[in-house]
Amino acid sequence: MYNIEIPDDEILKKIETPLMHNFVKISSKEDPTKFCIMPQHFADNYLERIKNMEIFEDDIWVVTFPKCGTTWTQEMTWMIGHNLDYKTSLEVQLDERFPFVEAGGLTTLIPVDTFEKTKNMPRPRFIKSHLPLFLLPDQLWTVKPKIVYVARNPKDTAVSWYHHHRNLHGYQGTKADFIEAFGKDLVLFSPMNNHVIDFWNIRFQQNILFLFFEDMKRNLSQEVKKVMKFMEKDYSQDEIDKLCVHLSFDSIKNNKMVNKEGDIKYLMETTGREYNPQNYTFIRKGKVGGYKKELTVEENDILDEYIKKAEFEIEYQF
């Protein structure tokens, strides 16, 4: 079903981290253009189990390439699907309510089998994944549960993914090396273009809702209404307004049930680093166009070329 090989590119070694290393390229035997960069640990312990996972019609999935508004969308989707249950959302960690199915395959430092945890969730299960379409469970395409997909422009995504690697995964390399690897489709979960395009091409299927991070930033109320309709929920405008306050950037960033502060502290201390919330938060800036202040001319050019590869299939928003 899959070919698994080690990519022959020196840049891959440069972007390894204490948490994420031993990267392999997992590709489809049927279509070698479909591939994904993942740790060997995932290939050995999670790949086949996720592919053969039992899916239920009442599952709700949020799928994104990393750093495209995943956590934000999870909280929005969970709240809409649970009748605006603020009490639980403020008392129970998002990862408990909405687990990340392949997380345990990314590093041996995660002490939980996240596949088993997700599989055994009480229904309806709310499930997060960053996996590309071809690595997701086969039954998603026969059972057809609801899937919310979120895309973001690659420049902001790459910058945010770089900061995530540096501050959470312990990446010690340069931004230039990371952007080069991103442009070569050699960072974790790459390639982004294929990830987005595969879902863009099925966006009109009844069980798929395709959103853009930029639309959520520009008009959150409008996007909330799209998710409500998709999930067959009906709330008043006052309830929608209250939910938008709950989902505002400052609220999400300071919500300890959502901002992953505990995960950051655990991973940093496990890898011998001092945790300081003033230095890094998982919900970092959440801006549209923040890349303009961070990318060099050379790094911007690399990502311009990357975007050109996809421009005839999807028009990213900026």
The CATH code of the domain that includes 188 is 3.40.50.300
The number of folded domains in the chain is 1
- pLDDT tens digits, residue range 207-239? 999 999 999 999 999 999 999 999 999 999 999
Residue scoring higher pLDDT (168 or 56): 56
- Nearest CA to 98 out of 258, 216, 221, 291 is that of 258
Report if residue 17 sits inside a domain: yes
Report if residue 163 sits inside a domain: yes
**Does the structure show a pLDDT above 90 at 254?**
no
Active-site position among 41, 130, 165, 169: 130
Residue 130 falls in the annotated catalytic set: yes
Report if residue 174 sits inside a domain: yes
Report if residue 318 sits inside a domain: no
Report if residue 92 sits inside a domain: yes
Report if residue 210 sits inside a domain: yes
Confidence of residue 21 (pLDDT cuts 50, 70, 90): confident
Confidence of residue 170 (pLDDT cuts 50, 70, 90): confident
State the residue for tokens 């901002």: 259
- pLDDT tens digits, residue range 56-100? 999 999 999 999 999 999 999 999 999 999 999 999 999 999 999
pLDDT score, position 251? 82
Q: What is the DSSP string of 61-104?
A: EEEESTTSSHHHHHHHHHHHHTTS-HHHHTTS-HHHHS-BTTGG
Report if residue 234 sits inside a domain: yes
Domain span holding position 112: 8-308
Confidence of residue 271 (pLDDT cuts 50, 70, 90): low
**Which amino acid does the sequence have at 196?**
V
Report if residue 317 sits inside a domain: no
